[in-house]
Amino acid sequence: MVVVVKKDASEEQIRDILKHLEDYGFKTHVSVGEMRTIIGAIGVQPDFDIRKVKILEGVADVYRITDPFKLASRNFKKEDTVVNIKDCKIGGDNIVLIAGPCSIESEEQIFRLAEIVHSSGAKILRGGAFKPRSSPYSFQGLGEEGLKMIRKAADEFGLLVITEVLQIGQIDLISKYADILQVGARNMQNFSLLKELGQSDIPVMLKRGLSATIEEWLMSAEYLLSSNNKNVFLCERGIRTFETYTRNTFDLSAIPVVHEKSHLPVIADPSHATGLRNQVPPMARAAIAAGADGLMIEIHDDPEKALSDGPQALLPNQYLDLIKELKLIAKAIGRNL
């Protein structure tokens, strides 16, 4: 931690700052410059609340120089994490494709879409059975009936299933049907849910919160890892900004940042990030070029009648054309898709 002392701070204030830092367990090193005095505070305390120093008299600013996450950090583990689920690898050189409808709507619908997902070479079928909707009057998902349908469709086509878990009470039920549990944007900081998911080794995909910083997102991953689930990967799905022409702002720069800061795989979701079908292919291409370890894409064969997120769903032919382009981009950057 670096503490910048105010220009007009008194000797006594500086002594007081040093005393506080030492009491908090830091070793200190003072550097008196012409313009500013700076105190280096050394000591590994990832959970130290720097505001305790910010409020001291004579302090101008405080900067952290180490990250507050440990198990999720690249310093802790140099090699990329690869999450293995049956014959599917998430992370490393591979690029994983997850596709399917926003919601499971009927057995026929999920079977038709599973066939398309399979024909594209994707390994994972998505579909929500418990939906986190902004309005309580919107379609909330088919619940366990939907889980049965997606499992059956996935088994028919040799696919894995990912679906969202909204609350602790659903974990056991969903784990019976799904291979990967999705923690959605709205639940990224549901710490009780994360701790509970950390108790098992079921793979978890942690989406970035609507207004979460990358650090907060990695701290949420830290909850899963520190409760002992190492099968964790991340999903960038756009963040809320002042922009209104897109549903969210797709933070593609989060991908190289996560790769630098963390060993966890990070995939991208251009569907929720943009919210409109015509914006999905360009951003999917960009995400692969930016180094994403995979994509999650929503598709539908009758999007006008979709029970959720129809406007962002790619039609089957659009999706299949996109995959062909993505293969070329992946090859150009030396990766497999």
List residues binding Mn ion (CB under 5 A).
Answer: 102, 309
Among 102, 110, 114, 117, binds ligand PEP (CB under 6 A): 102
Among 25, 46, 121, 132, binds ligand PEP (CB under 6 A): 132
Among 118, 123, 151, 237, binds ligand PEP (CB under 6 A): 237
By CB under 6 A, is residue 211 in contact with ligand PEP? no
By CB under 6 A, is residue 124 in contact with ligand PEP? no
For 123, other C-beta atoms within 10 Å of its C-beta total: 23
* Residue 166 and residue 187 in contact, taking contact as beta carbons nearer than 8 Å: yes
Provide the β-strand partners of residue 195.
none
By CB under 6 A, is residue 300 in contact with ligand PEP? no
Nearer to ligand PEP, 259 or 272 (CB): 272
Nearer to ligand PEP, 148 or 186 (CB): 186
By CB under 6 A, is residue 259 in contact with ligand PEP? no
| CA–CA separation, 166 and 192 (whole Å) | 11
Among 123, 261, 263, 272, binds ligand PEP (CB under 6 A): 272
By CB under 6 A, is residue 128 in contact with ligand PEP? yes
Q: Choosing among ligand PEP, Mn ion, none, which partner's interface includes residue 316 (Cβ < 5 to 8 Å by kind)?
A: none
Q: With CB under 6 A as the contact rule, which of the stretches 92-100, 179-187, 193-201, 215-223 interacts with ligand PEP?
A: 179-187
* Residue 164 and residue 184 in contact, taking contact as beta carbons nearer than 8 Å: yes
Provide the residue type at 191 as one letter: F
By CB under 6 A, is residue 247 in contact with ligand PEP? no
By CB under 6 A, is residue 117 in contact with ligand PEP? no
| CA–CA separation, 213 and 141 (whole Å) | 29
Burial of 16 (0-12, 13-18, 19+ CB in 10 A): middle
Maximum alpha-carbon separation in the chain? 76
| CA–CA separation, 255 and 235 (whole Å) | 9
Shortest separation between residue 308's beta carbon and Mn ion, angstroms? 6
Nearer to Mn ion, 96 or 102 (CB): 102
Provide the residue type at 160 as one letter: L
Length of the chain: 337
Among 184, 294, 303, 316, binds ligand PEP (CB under 6 A): 184
Residue 307 to residues 97, 142, 151, 209, 315, Cα–Cα distance (Å): 23, 11, 20, 23, 15
Mention every residue, 6+ apart, whose C-beta is less than 8 A from residue 268: 235, 236, 237, 250, 252, 255, 283, 284, 287, 290, 292, 294, 295, 296
DSSP at 312: G
Nearer to ligand PEP, 17 or 90 (CB): 90
Shortest separation between residue 297's beta carbon and ligand PEP, angstroms? 10
| CA–CA separation, 252 and 320 (whole Å) | 23
Nearer to ligand PEP, 91 or 128 (CB): 128
Number of residues that bind ligand PEP (CB under 6 A): 10
By CB under 6 A, is residue 299 in contact with ligand PEP? no
Shortest separation between residue 311's beta carbon and Mn ion, angstroms? 10
Spatial CA neighbour of 223 closest among 251, 257, 189: 189
Nearer to ligand PEP, 14 or 99 (CB): 99
By CB under 6 A, is residue 209 in contact with ligand PEP? no
Nearer to Mn ion, 220 or 271 (CB): 271
Q: By CB under 6 A, name the binding residues for ligand PEP.
A: 102, 128, 132, 164, 184-186, 207, 237, 272
